[in-house]
Chain A
Amino acid sequence: MDTTIAEHGASVRLLALGDAAWTVEFGTTIAPAVHARVLGFAGALEQARRAAGRDGSDDDGIGAVIDVVPTFRSLTVYYRPLCCDGERLGAALMHLAESSGTASQEGRRWRIPVCFDDDLAPDLADLAVAKGLSRETVVALMCEATFEVYMIGFMPGFAYMGGLPAILEMPRLSSPRKAVPARSLAVAGSMCAVYPWESPGGWRLLGRTPVPMFSANDAESPSLLASGDRVCWRAIERQAYLEMEAAAAAGTLDKGRLLFLPEES
């Protein structure tokens, strides 16, 4: 994360996504240094959007921005085309992107419980055999690693996370499942994710969390995770899993308790 602007600044590109969005691209590959630039720019843009609302003047059109989508390597900025001059907004975004550097503050840190029981982890045994590891070693490796959220996409609340130990990397299943159960912890290639919904999917399922990844009724933050967050998995027994699942269904699960407290981090 300590890559300087000079090393990556030359590659910033402004790409038109129609007449109501710009994609500011920091690179074409998946790399932590590129993602750090994305987060740095996202933070600077958020500040600029707040300022645009405050002083009333908005010559560069930042106030017309309605949505942003951070990805592995770019930030797409959506705006109301009738409320600004798109070309000027594009120039302002480039100016901001070239000067924003890497993320100034770290994302939230989560410790999310996962039950690794066989029936909740249908691909765990196969992955362990394929890698010549014991089942317990795979679980230990998953729980020791820190994952970073690159982006939310594919479906609401689906967080693409990097940080999977290289020894656990495996391609997707050759034949995707028709229905992956909601809240399954899954890996594919170098990525890790939790399916927020039951859906078709080809990632390998290593466990299941009782924590909902997406709650439409949580108006503040329907998606549990955000780009830039860091996540550790904590193995739990079946009993604890069932209790937390019931609490989540009843709406009494305190998501705040899943955050690392400052003295722990």
Chain B
Amino acid sequence: MKATKIKKGVSGVSFDIIKYGLLTLLAIVCFLPFLVMVSGSFSDNATVVLTGYGVLPKNFSTTAYKFIFRNPSAIIQAYKMTIYYTVVGTLVGLLTTVLTAYVISRSTFKYRNVVSFLIYFTTIFGGGMIPWYLMYTNILPLKGTTFIIWFPAILSSFNIILMRTFIKGSVPDAIIESAKIDGAGEFTILSRIVWPVLTPGLATVGLFLALGYWNDWYRSSLFSTKTDTYELQFYLYNLVSAAEALKNLVSSGTSLSVTIDVPSQTVKMAMAVVVTGPILLVYPFVQRYFVSGITIGAVKG
């Protein structure tokens, strides 16, 4: 931003020191555990358990990754499916979120508060997991489909209301009214006037949606019936939970013919790396919408 190019006063300099100092500190505190996680994933499980984690890998080993990738086609399939769910879910989600948020942001829409309340109400009251599960498996027989993995997360009350705030903040009512007087339909207003200036909001909500999809394992856990529709997170999670479940089962006395030998701690680290990696690659592209301002000249017109 141009802000810093203008002559700085004493306050400007003091502020510089504060902001760079604090941000550096926070960045280190936030990054360090992540670094430890990555090096942990490349360490030998026994060594880590024995001597603890470090910033650098201890007794370098790729066993954890070998364990995760022992079935490469499955994991590639899981990546594919997760990308599919994320892309479809985020796009559909963004579209429906903006549609809804646009309506309830309009001060000329008489029932905006009722609708807002009904949307918000869903975050407070819920019937629990069983009727929800019943809805998707018995009333709508969707179990096992890919639709059911992305559909339940397209809208969230939080995203809608957040988007409403963004729309309200970046498009004054006056502009919409004047456009209406000029004869623009709702759809034109939304696509030509609101959408273009909504980029930070879209990026934010899109990011939240995408992260939600990327990190989800629960819906796969409940609804996937075939291995090739698993979400990545669930695929990985299930590798470890199988080992732990079998271990616990044995303490309740089931005799099993298989033992699953999972280097548990380092595998958990490696899982996190495998899952996070792609996001960190994509993130900078989304990030520019948060770190550099956009021209909102259109609004001032």
Co-assembled chains A and B: no
Report which A residues bind B (CB closer than 8 A): none
